[in-house]
Chains A and B, each alone.
Chain A
């Protein structure tokens, strides 16, 4: 990088306005050079696609031949499509079970671990480790464990004298089993995040409550839980966003089946766009999902700004 001749003055800050302006221009040029790769990738592969998707959702497109404008037809069709209804229903069941259960289990485990006992580190590792395993690997592993003929699960049931189960091939079980697998891999994240938050709960607060005669459960309800409430809000939204977007595990284990019992929204979108080549229709479904995801995001913002205003007010009054 070319360097300006070193000025004679000691401080380059106080100099005449023209030199100052030159410095600013140089700085802006360097800054643009620094940010341009990020800007290019992020605008090119995020902002443009978002708008393009919107456009696509008003068109019939098979990803190969030129598309044509169909207006709101895709959205109308979605409203009437029983497969889409089923996908929405399955996604909601998955979300409504996975999110609260993973957070409750994560909190319970974190509370159990947040004390002076041995092996806390080991327990934390074991609870968390399934989280780093890819959904693909989880899916392949559990398709085998739960294989109706060769799987270890039925083998264990057989030894216990229980009749064989269909597991992922049984439409009444498959979705719930996927939730259990997700809980196995997703609870650890809630646990470690809660554990970190619990360690930030001021000890004096708990001691003060104890001195005032509060029992364990009262301390939990009136001191601990309110202090970790922001983390709960974050996890609630984070897990909801993850749950509404579940795809990999479904693709690997059931491919949406049996009988569409595990078709979730993202699987539906993928199927429409890349299997049936109705990309416009898939884009419309993606927009519906995005609007659904926008709700938790907006809630998060409102809660955040509300909290900030609250803390600012408190700071002002104290």
Chain B
């Protein structure tokens, strides 16, 4: 978030507080009429999430008053205590963490290996495979979900975390994005190392990967976002509530705990928080990842 604390209109009155050169020009911009439009809109966008957080601190008694109160009386943690204490929530949280972590790690590993091979190595069938991979990027999930369910059933993975992990082990998106990135690196860097007799994996590990950090971050961020937030595939592949992910758990929890809104809201906060924190800490990476895919698309 922003580090400035003073109000927009007050900056002009304190020009002597610091030498002019030391101040960044952005900070001394005068109040603009655009704020009158932008600030209410920004509040409107933030409001649902702010209210989500506030309502998670309300007690059930307060939820049931009519008309419904909008702000909590105080900080009531009974919702959090309920979901973290006796529900399945901790288990679901763990499941989500496992699935997302494995997906991110394996997308990085397989994406790097595949992307590097497609970018730098010559082998029979590489063009065909690459075309095939690009084509599968355009396939909508709905088209593959029924057969994927049948494949997972044949493998005996339905109702296990394996059913969630295997399809997200590596995406064509990760392979392709990393290939594009490796292509943009100068070849000479690696050639020097080959001449020294380094093996491919060593070159990849010690020369290419340190340069590829932004691309790796993009793959990690987008993989985490999609696996953590996914609902449709867990909904299909999982029946037993010990194997639920947070998203799937939250929907069923909402259905069965209609009277415990405090717990539902607390559970919702727990579901959203990891992504929100990741976003706030790595905001630049998030936005760069999404705009880069958009601009180059």
CB 8 Å contact bits of B152-184 with A (1 = contact, 0 = none): 010000000000001101111001000000000
Contact status of A45 and B151, CB under 8 A, knowing A116-B26, A123-B42: yes
The yes or no answer to B74 lying at the interface (CB within 8 A) is no
CB-based contact A63/B149 at 8 Å:
yes
- Given A117-B29, A234-B294, also A140-B169 (CB < 8 A): no
B75 at the interface (CB under 8 A from A): no
Residue of A nearest to B199 (CB): A1
Q: Are B117 and A34 in contact (CB under 8 A)?
A: yes
Question: Does chain A have a CB within 8 A of B32?
Answer: yes
Interface hub of B147, B236, B286, B287 (most chain A Cβ within 10 A): B147
CA distance A123 to B40 in the complex (A): 10
State the main secondary structure of chain A at its contact with B. Answer: helix
CB <8 Å contact, A158 and B42 = no
A155 pairs with B129, CB closer than 8 A: no
* Contact assessment for B42 and A270 in the assembled complex, using a CB-CB cutoff below 8 Å: no
| B223-272 interface with A by 8 A CB criterion | 225, 228-232, 235-236, 247-248, 250-251, 254, 261, 264-265, 268, 271-272
A28 at the interface (CB under 8 A from B): yes
Which listed residue, A116, A124, A129, A241, touches B276 by the CB 8 Å rule? A129
User: In A191-245, which residues have CB < 8 Å from any B CB?
Assistant: 192-193, 195-197, 200, 231, 234-235, 238, 241, 245
Q: Is A299 an interface residue (CB 8 A)?
A: no
A-chain residues with CB within 8 Å of residue B38 when the two chains form the complex: 109, 112-113, 119, 123
A174 part of interface (Cβ distance < 8 Å): no
Which of B123, B169, B228 has a CB less than 8 Å from the CB of A37?
A: B169
Tell me if A140 and B133 are in contact (CB < 8 A). Answer: no
Q: What separation, in Å, do the CA atoms of A159 and B70 have in the docked complex?
A: 11
- CB-CB < 8 A to A53: which residues of B? 143-144, 146-147
Cα distance, A197 to B32, chains bound together (Å): 23
| Cβ distance A95 to chain B, nearest Cβ, rounded Å | 14
Residues of A close to B228: CB separation below 8 A:
134
Kindly identify which residue among A6, A46, A251, A289 contacts B136, using a CB–CB cutoff of 8 Å: A46
Q: Does A274 contact B (CB under 8 A)?
A: yes
- A231-B295 in contact (CB<8A): yes
Known contacts A122-B1, A132-B279, A247-B232; A48 and B136 CB within 8 A of each other: no
Given known contacts A1-B201, A143-B254, A126 and B42 CB-to-CB distance under 8 angstroms: yes
**Structural contact, B129 and A39, CB atoms closer than 8 A:** yes
Interface code B106-126, partner A: CB below 8 Å = 1, 0 otherwise? 000011011011100111101
Chain A contacts for B142, CB-based, 8 A: 245, 247, 265-266, 269, 286, 289-290
Chain A CB within 8 A of B148 CB: yes
**Residues in chain B near residue A56, CB distance under 8 A:** 146-147
Instruction: Point out the residues of chain A lying under 8 angstroms from B147, CB to CB.
Output: 48-49, 52-53, 56
Shortest CB–CB separation between residue B69 and chain A, in angstroms? 8
Which residue of chain B lies nearest to A116 when distances are taken between CB atoms in the complex?
B29
A248: B residues at CB distance < 8 A: 231-232
CB pair A34–B264 under 8 Å, yes or no, is no
User: Contact at B291–A193, with CB atoms within 8 Å?
Assistant: yes
Q: Tell me how far the C-beta of B231 lies from the nearest C-beta in chain A, rounded to whole angstroms.
A: 4
List the one stretch of B15-23, B43-51, B79-87, B209-217 in contact with chain A. Answer: B43-51
Are the CB atoms of A118 and B29 closer together than 8 Å? yes
Whether B206 is near chain A, meaning CB under 8 Å from some CB there, is no
> Is B195 interfacial (CB-CB < 8 Å)?
yes
Contact present for B254 and A140 (CB under 8 Å): yes
Q: Which of A28, A126, A139, A196 contacts B122 (CB 8 A)?
A: A28
**A35→B113 CA distance, assembly (Å):** 6
Q: A37-B169, A43-B132, A238-B294 are in contact. Are A118 and B111 (CB under 8 A)?
A: no
A141 to B, closest residue via Cβ = B52
Q: From the candidates B4, B48, B229, name the one contacting A142 in the complex (CB within 8 A).
A: B48
Task: Tell me whether A130 is interfacial, beta carbon within 8 Å.
Answer: yes
- How far, in Å, is B268 (CB) from chain A's closest CB? 5
A41 at interface, CB cutoff 8 A: yes
Contact check, A112 vs B37: say whether CB atoms are below 8 A apart. Answer: yes
Given contacts A31-B121, A136-B231, contact A11 B295 (CB under 8 A): no
- Which of B43, B129, B140 contacts A289 (CB under 8 A)? B140
Residues of A within 8 Å of B248, CB to CB, are: 136
B45 touches A27 (CB 8 A): no
27 contacts between A and B (CB under 8 A): A27-B200, A30-B200, A38-B111, A38-B170, A39-B133, A41-B110, A41-B170, A49-B145, A50-B143, A118-B35, A119-B4, A126-B42, A132-B225, A132-B278, A134-B247, A145-B51, A155-B70, A156-B70, A193-B290, A196-B295, A197-B295, A200-B295, A241-B140, A251-B231, A266-B142, A270-B236, A274-B236
Q: Measuring CB to CB, which residues of chain B are less than 8 angstroms from any residue of chain A?
A: 1-2, 4, 8, 26-27, 29, 32, 34-35, 37-38, 41-43, 45-46, 48-49, 51-52, 55, 63-64, 67-70, 110-111, 113-114, 116-118, 121-124, 126, 129, 132-133, 136, 138-151, 153, 166-167, 169-172, 175, 194-195, 197, 199-201, 225, 228-232, 235-236, 247-248, 250-251, 254, 261, 264-265, 268, 271-272, 275-276, 278-280, 283, 286-287, 290-291, 294-295, 297
Given contacts A49-B147, A116-B26, A150-B68, 16 further A-B contacts (CB under 8 A): A3-B197, A6-B197, A30-B121, A47-B136, A109-B38, A118-B4, A119-B35, A133-B276, A134-B230, A154-B67, A155-B70, A238-B294, A251-B231, A270-B232, A290-B143, A297-B138
